Structure 1
């Protein structure tokens, strides 16, 4: 299902028409018309966020169809929750957004986060060596990251230097996306997202206040890394 089809489905649930969505989101009516016809694959700027907020859903749900609340698995009595695999984090690799298959998501039962029990947990598989020198514990090829969806906790958690986060970079009006894991360093005039690698090809992403990282490239934090998992070989 495309993102605009999810938007239309949610509008139908709410009993809204295009005018209602225009008034609730502040997005121009003509633009909404084009989105719902599928004329525009990816809105520019923060339009996707405005639409998601208006229909009371996350950007991850609207854009990618990731919504852990849809799970039918009842785990609360055991102190567990359902987490879904969102995708792969790999520095320097931009993938076409359409290549992410939303139809079959791997779902895993995990303990609830003790600090944020109501936040959605997302899983990312690590590819590459961009964090193989992270201290005190490296993140290696094949590791699975257990993360909190940042949309769910940004009003509760202040970003701080030293945090390990999943960063999304998009280019070509959102048609291509890179998910990578970085360690955050905050300064008065900028935020820096650093690889911690023995491989010198990996470079930090530097975001200055009120500026994009590069021409045509936008950067945002989408998840906070809370745990790292891996399985021992030989089984």
Structure 2
């Protein structure tokens, strides 16, 4: 088994969909207000959606796919004030609602909401084919910036199964959404310690199969153990020897540090 954890050079970024940074959440323009404006601007500039996505990515410092632009043009995606201002600069056009009026400053939210990618499901024991994110726009949500790690990107996962239903002081149950910080972004400032709750990735078959699960860390001199906390005895810990030469065909790495648990109450 090959271990790849922060103090041994973790690089989890390549296994998580792109998580764009956001320096605050300005006001939001409804898609119906801008789709015609954006479509007309692209036609007037003879600019493809792919080229617009490239320039928007460069201007805002995050990854935009052509599919995201297509959704904007068809009114299927909300556009933030930052995106609107950037689009107006790229297309050299006045943003909707500002025609004939003095430009208005877009004020960031005092709560510092940031865009959070919903990366997918985590489920112990479920190895699945690793997806190809080449041209897929991830679902996103907005959450407050993490107060302890404000520089780190955040990512969300949805829990399936019962592998953490005995976690103390608060279990993580099926249907819960966990809000995490990207471990790679912590840059080695947060050493591993007993009791940390993390999202762990195991890959097999040369990376073609992947399992994402939530585990709690137990540290020992000769090994690191990633434990489920469950009433279900079928869930077993992932045990990784501190031996760089040990290799059983699996790769284990920490993707994220769990920070919050949320759940919508059905009605």
> TM-score, structure 2 length as denominator?
0.61
Q: Is the 8 A contact 1:123 1:146 kept in 2?
A: yes
Partner of 1:197: 230
Structure 2 match to 1:88? 121
RMSD across aligned C-alpha pairs, in angstroms?
Answer: 2.5
Pairing partner for 1:114 from 135, 138, 147: 147
Q: Which has the larger radius of gyration?
A: 2
Runs of 5+ in structure 2 lacking a partner?
Answer: 4-9, 22-61, 64-78, 83-107
* 1:68 lines up with 2:101 in the alignment: no
In structure 1, what is the Cα distance between the partners aligned to 2:117 and 2:149?
A: 17
Partner of 1:128: 161
Contact 1:205-1:213 within 8 A present in 2 as well: no
Is 1:141 aligned to 2:174, yes or no? yes
Structure 1 residues 213 and 224 mapped into 2: Cα distance closer, same or farther (>3 Å)? Answer: farther
Q: Is the 8 A contact 2:17 2:119 kept in 1?
A: no
Structure 1 residue 102: Cα displacement: 6.0
1:98 and 2:121 matched? no
Inter-partner Cα distance in structure 1 for 2:129 and 2:178: 22
**Residue-by-residue CA offset, 1:162-191 (whole Å, 9 max, x unaligned):** 000000000000011100000000011110
Shift of 1:100: 6.5
Paired positions, count: 179
What are the ranges of 5 or more consecutive residues in structure 1 without an aligned counterpart? 1-44, 47-52
Could you say which residue in structure 1 is the equivalent of 2:42?
none
Mark the CA change 1:189 to 1:59 in structure 2 (over 3 Å): closer, same or farther.
closer
TM-score normalised according to structure 1 size:
0.69
Distance 1:126 1:212, change over 3 A: farther
- Following the alignment from structure 2 to structure 1, what is the Cα–Cα distance between the partners of residues 212 and 15? 14
